[in-house]
Homo-oligomer: A and B are copies of this chain.
Amino acid sequence: MVGIDDVAKHAGVSTATVSRALSGRGYVSDATRAKVSASAEHLDYVVSSNASSLASGRTRNVGIVVPFLSEWYFSSVVEGAETALLRRGYDLTLYNLTGGGDDRRSVFEHFLLRRRVDAVIAVSLELSDDEVSSLHSLGKPLVSVGGVLPGVPSLTVVDSAMTSLSTEHLLSLGHTRIAHIGADSAFDRDFKVPTYRRKGYEQALRDAGITPDPALFRAADFTMKGGFRAAKQLLGQPRDRPTAIVAASDEMAIGSILAARDLGLNVPGDVSVSGVDDHQLADFFGLTTVAQFPKRQGERAVELLMEHLEPAPGSAQPAADLSSAERVPVPFELVVRSSTAAPKPSTA
C-alpha cells in the first residue's frame, strides 16, 4: 500500500510538502506541486481518508437521512446530492429510516455521532428537538430539504403555493367546480405537506370568490390507487360532478385520470386533472402538474453546505449565516400538458 512517504521519497520532498501539494492548503511552488502530482500519479497514490480525517478533523463525507428510498422524490434528492458531492470530492453516506423506531434512534445516537460525517442533510424528516440539538452540538452543519426544521436552513417549496398555482390555472380556464384530492391531517407525516397543499387549493378558490365545498374534497394516501378510488367517488356523482380535479401529487392525479377513463369520461374533455411533482410518469400521461425539482434540491443542499464546509476566502462568520437563513425557497413551475383544458360549455 503506497503511502505518503513513498510519494515524498519519489518526489524528493518531505511528506508535509506532499500533503500541501495534494490537498491544496498552504504554499507550494508550482514546480513542486507538479513534481508531487506526477509522483503520486505514477505510484497510484490515494490518501487514506481515515488518516487524513483523523489528523485534520475533516472527513469529506456528508450524511443524508431519508425516510424512504424507493419513492421518486427521495431517491431524486439523494441522486442530486450525490452527484454534487462527488463532483467536490465528497462521499455520501446514506441513512435510511425505513425501519422506524430503533433504527432511527441508533442512527442518531450512534451513526451520525461517530464523527464520520462533516455535515448532514435531512430529507423530509421531522426531527425532534433532541435530534436537532444533538446534531447542532456536534457543530455539524445541517440542512433540511423538503421540510422546515426549526433553526435549520430548510430548502423547501412553499407547498400551498404549488396547489394555489394549479388551482389558479384551472380557474383561469373557466372551471368553477374544482375538486381536491389530498389528505387530511390524519395523513400528515412529513411536515404537514398534505395540509399545506390543501390550504393552497382552498385559498386560490377563496381568492376567486368561491367557497371551498367539502363535498369536493377526498382524502387519499398519495398513491395511484388512492387517487383512483378518490376520483371514482368524486366523478361517479350523477349530478354536479366536478369539472376539474386538483390532486396533491402526480401519482394521485394519474390515478384520477385512470378513474375518469374507467367511468367513460374524457380527460380533459369532461374533466381536467392536475398534479404536483412532475413525476417521471407525468409526461406519459400528459399530466398538467406543478413541477418541483428534487435533484436540483439535493444539489442546492450540497451547495449550501459547502459554503460552510469550505468557505470562500473572504467570508467572515459562515456558521452564523447558515443558521440564520431559515427558509431557502426553491423553484417550482407549472407544466401544462394535455390533462387540463377549458370546461365544456355547460350544455346541461
- Chain A residues packing against B (C-beta within 8 Å): 46-51, 53-54, 59, 61, 68-70, 72, 75-76, 78-79, 82-83, 86-87, 89, 91-96, 98-99, 103, 106-107, 109-111, 113-116, 223-225, 228, 255, 261, 280-281, 283-284
Q: Is the CB of B114 within 8 A of A99?
A: no
Q: Is the CB of B72 within 8 A of A114?
A: no
Q: Is the CB of B86 within 8 A of A96?
A: yes
Q: Is the CB of A114 within 8 A of B46?
A: yes
A91, A280, A283: residue with the most chain B Cβ atoms closer than 10 Å: A91
Q: Is the CB of A284 within 8 A of B228?
A: yes
* Chain B residues within an 8 Å CB radius of A110: 46, 89
Q: A48-B114, A50-B53, A113-B46 are in contact. Are A76 and B70 (CB under 8 A)?
A: yes
Q: A49-B116, A92-B94 are in contact. Are A75 and B70 (CB under 8 A)?
A: yes
Q: Nearest CB to that of A91 among chain B residues?
A: B93
Copy number in this complex? 2
Task: Identify A54's interface contact among B54, B87, B92, CB under 8 A.
Answer: B54
CB distance from A15 to the nearest CB of B (A): 16
Q: A49-B114, A54-B48 are in contact. Are A98 and B75 (CB under 8 A)?
A: no
CB distance from A295 to the nearest CB of B (A): 8
* Chain B residues within an 8 Å CB radius of A224: 281, 284
List 6 contacting pairs A-B, 8 Å CB cutoff, sorted by A.
Answer: A49-B116, A50-B116, A69-B75, A70-B76, A75-B75, A86-B106
Bound-state CA distance A69–B75 (Å) is 6
Q: Nearest CB to that of A226 among chain B residues?
A: B284
